C-alpha cells in the first residue's frame, strides 16, 4: 500500500502540478498512445487539460512527466534551456535511435548541429546546390508517379527526399551500396509507435531496428575507409570527418554515423507529413487553390526559359502566398508532443491555473529534478486566445509575419536555442512541390 501511495504521490520539495500517475509501471502510457485526429489537440492532452489545467503531471513510458500546454510555462522552460532544463526523451525512443545517439542525449548538441549542418541545409547550401537537386528530383519523381493515376503523397515525398539527400550525406558510393542504404533509410519509421501494444507493432519494430542497424553499418564501413585513405569528398560525411579529427570534438565514429542517419530521418519525416497535409488542405479549399495557381502562373509567365526549374530568386521573392500556405499553415496542425526536456535541477514554474479559457489565480508549481517535461505545441496553436478560429486552415493569417522563427505562440519549429535547423529546407521542398 505504501509503494502504491508513493507511486501516485511522488516526493516533491514543493507543490507538484495536479494530475495522476496512472497504473504502476506502465503509468498512463496506454492512454497516451491512443490514436487521435490530425487537426486537433492530442486526446490525451485535451482530456487532462480540461480536468487539471494547462500544466499536469503523469507517467509515460516509465518516466515521471510534467506536460505543459501553457505558453508562459513553455517560454520559461525554453529560456532556461541548458541550465535548468536539458534535452530529454524517454529511454525507449533513445534506444530505438541507437545508444550512440547524441541528438536525443547530449544537452549541448545543438551548438554543433547548427555548425555542421550549415553547409548542407543552411541557406547558402540550399541556394547553391540543394535547390537544383530538389527541383529535378521532385519533377522526375512526380512525372513518373502522375502517370500512375494516384499515389501516396507522404510516402513519395519521403522516397524522393531520401533519394537526393543520400548522395549529399555520403557521396561516391557504389550504385548497389547506395541503393541498399536508401532502402534501409526508407524502411526506418515510427509507425509502430502508434499501436505500441499489438504484436504486429513489435514485429514492425524489429524490422525497423534491423534496417537502422544495416544503414549504420554501411555508413561505418564508408567512414572507416575514408579515414584510412584520407580521401576528401564534397559531402556531409567529410564535414563530420573534419570534426572528428578535432581534439575538442564531441563526436566519435558511432555518434557521427548516427547523426547522418538521424538527419536523413528528420529531413524526410517532418517535410513529408507537412506536404501531405498541405495537399489535403488545399484540395478542400478552392480559394487557396485559386490564389496559389495565380501566383504560380505569374512565376512561369515571367520566366525566359519556360522549362527552367524553381530559382532561388523566385522562391524568396515571388512565392509569398505559397510560403504562407506551406510551412506555418500546415505545421501548426501537426498534432504531436514534439518537444521533450529533462529537469536538471528542481525548478519552480509559475502558471495561471486556467481551465479552458477561464483564468484563475497564479500558482507556483515545482518540477523535481529528473522529471521529463513534455511540451504540447498543438495546445498553444489551437488556443483561440492565440489564434482566431484556430482549427481553420487560413494561410492569410500569416501575412507579413516571420514564419520560421519561434515565438510564445508559434512553435511549429521549436523555439529558443534548439530552433529547427531544417525549417528552410522543409519550406523550400514544399514550395517546389506545390509549384
Ligand atoms: C516541416 C517540417 C519540420 C518540422 C515541423 C520540424 C520541427 C522541429 C521542431 C519542433 C524542433 C525542435 C525540437 C526540440 O526543441 O526538441 C526541430 C528541431 C530540429 N529539426 Fe526540424 N522540423 C522540420 C523539418 C526539418 C528538416 C527538413 C530537418 C533537416 C533537414 C530538420 C532538422 C532538425 C534538427 C537537426 C533539429 C534539432 C535542432 C537543435 O537541437 O538545435 N527539421 N524541428
- Give percent of the chain with pLDDT exceeding 90: 42
**Which of 50-54, 101-105, 325-329 has the highest mean predicted lDDT (pLDDT)?**
50-54
Q: How confident is the model at residue 316 (pLDDT cuts 50, 70, 90)?
A: very high
Which range is least confidently modeled, 15-19, 51-55, 99-103, 413-417?
Answer: 99-103
CA angle 210, 97, 337 (to 5 degrees): 130
> Which ligand 1 atom lies nearest to the CA of residue 103?
40
Known binding-site residues equal: 420
CA of 412 to the centre of ligand 1 (A): 9
Known binding-site residues for heme equal: 420
Give the DSSP per-residue string, 253-285.
HHHHHHHHHHHHHHHHHHHHHHHHHHHHHHHT-
Q: How confident is the model at residue 171 (pLDDT cuts 50, 70, 90)?
A: very high
CA of 313 to the centre of ligand 1 (A): 25
58: nearest Cα among 19, 108, 3: 19
CA of 52 to the centre of ligand 1 (A): 30
379: nearest Cα among 31, 55, 15: 55
- Residue 357 has what pLDDT? 45
* Average pLDDT of the segment spanning 174-188: 92
Question: What 3 state SS string does 227-240 have?
Answer: HHHCCCCCCHHHHH
* Average pLDDT of the segment spanning 233-262: 87
- Residue 196 has what pLDDT? 64
ipTM given for this complex? 0.96
CA of 421 to the centre of ligand 1 (A): 6
Q: How confident is the model at residue 333 (pLDDT cuts 50, 70, 90)?
A: low
What rounded mean pLDDT belongs to the chain? 86
CA of 270 to the centre of ligand 1 (A): 8
Which of 116, 165, 266 for a ligand 1 pocket mutation test, highest count of atoms within 8 Å of Cβ? 266
**Does the structure show a pLDDT above 70 at 108?**
no
Which of 123, 168, 270, 329 for a ligand 1 pocket mutation test, highest count of atoms within 8 Å of Cβ? 270
> Which ligand 1 atom lies nearest to the CA of residue 334?
5
**Ligand 1 atom 14, closest CA:** 339
* Average pLDDT of the segment spanning 279-289: 94
CA of 169 to the centre of ligand 1 (A): 17
Identify the residues whose C-beta falls under 6 Å from ligand 1.
Answer: 110, 113, 121, 263, 266-267, 270-271, 274, 327, 331, 334, 338-339, 412-414, 418, 420-422, 425-426
**Does the structure show a pLDDT above 70 at 352?**
no
Q: How confident is the model at residue 114 (pLDDT cuts 50, 70, 90)?
A: confident
Instruction: Work out the number of other CB atoms within 10 angstroms of the CB of residue 362.
Output: 11
- Residue 219 has what pLDDT? 94
> Which ligand 1 atom lies nearest to the CA of residue 338?
10
Q: What is the DSSP letter of 158?
A: H
How many CA atoms, within 13 angstroms, populate the side-chain half-sphere of residue 73?
32
CB 365 within 8 A of CB 348: yes
Integer Cα distance of 426 and 429 in angstroms: 5
- Residue 361 has what pLDDT? 57
> Which ligand 1 atom lies nearest to the CA of residue 263?
29
Which range is least confidently modeled, 94-103, 249-258, 286-295?
Answer: 94-103
**Ligand 1 atom 25, closest CA:** 422
CA of 407 to the centre of ligand 1 (A): 15
Q: Beta strands of 92-147 (E only): which ranges?
A: none
**Does the structure show a pLDDT above 50 at 356?**
no
> Which ligand 1 atom lies nearest to the CA of residue 161?
27
Helix and strand counts by DSSP (H, E) for the chain: 20, 7
Q: How confident is the model at residue 429 (pLDDT cuts 50, 70, 90)?
A: very high
Amino acid at each position: 500500500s505504501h509503494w502504491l501511495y508513493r507511486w501516485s504521490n511522488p516526493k516533491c520539495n514543493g507543490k507538484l502540478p495536479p494530475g495522476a500517475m496512472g497504473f504502476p509501471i506502465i503509468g498512463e502510457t496506454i492512454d497516451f498512445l491512443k490514436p487521435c485526429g490530425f487537426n486537433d489537440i492530442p486526446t490525451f492532452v485535451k482530456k487532462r487539460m480540461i480536468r487539471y489545467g494547462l500544466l499536469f503531471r503523469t507517467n509515460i513510458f516509465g518516466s515521471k512527466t510534467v506536460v505543459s500546454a501553457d505558453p508562459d510555462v513553455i517560454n520559461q522552460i525554453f529560456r532556461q534551456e541548458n541550465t535548468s532544463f536539458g534535452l530529454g526523451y524517454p529511454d525507449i525512443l533513445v534506444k530505438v535511435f541507437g545508444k550512440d545517439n547524441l541528438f536525443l542525449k547530449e544537452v549541448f548538441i545543438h551548438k554543433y548541429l547548427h555548425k555542421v549542418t550549415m553547409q548542407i541545409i543552411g541557406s547558402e547550401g540550399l541556394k547553391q546546390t540543394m535547390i537544383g537537386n530538389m527541383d529535378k528530383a521532385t519533377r522526375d519523381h512526380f512525372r513518373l508517379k502522375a502517370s500512375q493515376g494516384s499515389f501516396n503523397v507522404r510516402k513519395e515525398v519521403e522516397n524522393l527526399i531520401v533519394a537526393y539527400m543520400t548522395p549529399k550525406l555520403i557521396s561516391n558510393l557504389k550504385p548497389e551500396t547506395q541503393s541498399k542504404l536508401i532502402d534501409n533509410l526508407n524502411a526506418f519509421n515510427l509507425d509502430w509507435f502508434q499501436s505500441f501494444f499489438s504484436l504486429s507493432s513489435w514485429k514492425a519494430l524489429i524490422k525497423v531496428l534491423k534496417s537502422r542497424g544495416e544503414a549504420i553499418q554501411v555508413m561505418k564501413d564508408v567512414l572507416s575507409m575514408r579515414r584510412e585513405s584520407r580521401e576528401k569528398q564534397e559531402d556531409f560525411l567529410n564535414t563530420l570527418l573534419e570534426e572528428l579529427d578535432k581534439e575538442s570534438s564531441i563526436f566519435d565514429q558511432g555518434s557521427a554515423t548516427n547523426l547522418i542517419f538521424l538527419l536523413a530521418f528528420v529531413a524526410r519525416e517532418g517535410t513529408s507529413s507537412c506536404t501531405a497535409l498541405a495537399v489535403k488542405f488545399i484540395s478542400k479549399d478552392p480559394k487557396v487553390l485559386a490564389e496559389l495557381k495565380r501566383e504560380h502562373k505569374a512565376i512561369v509567365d515571367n520566366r525566359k526559359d519556360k522549362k527552367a526549374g524553381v530559382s532561388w530568386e523566385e522562391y524568396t521573392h515571388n512565392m509569398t502566398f505559397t510560403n504562407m500556405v506551406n510551412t506555418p499553415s500546415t505545421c501548426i496542425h501537426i498534432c504531436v508532443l514534439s518537444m521533450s526536456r529533462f529537469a536538471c535541477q528542481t525548478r519552480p514554474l509559475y502558471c495561471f491555473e486556467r481551465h479552458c479559457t477561464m483564468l484563475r489565480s497564479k500558482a507556483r508549481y515545482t518540477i523535481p529534478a529528473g522529471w521529463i517535461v513534455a511540451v504540447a505545441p498543438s495546445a498553444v496553436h489551437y488556443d483561440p486566445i492565440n489564434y482566431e478560429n484556430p482549427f481553420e486552415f487560413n494561410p492569410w493569417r500569416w501575412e507579413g509575419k516571420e514564419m520560421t522563427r519561434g515565438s510564445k505562440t508559434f512553435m511549429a519549429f521549436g523555439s529558443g536555442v534548439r530552433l529547427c535547423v531544417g525549417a528552410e529546407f522543409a519550406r523550400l521542398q514544399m514550395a517546389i512541390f506545390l509549384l
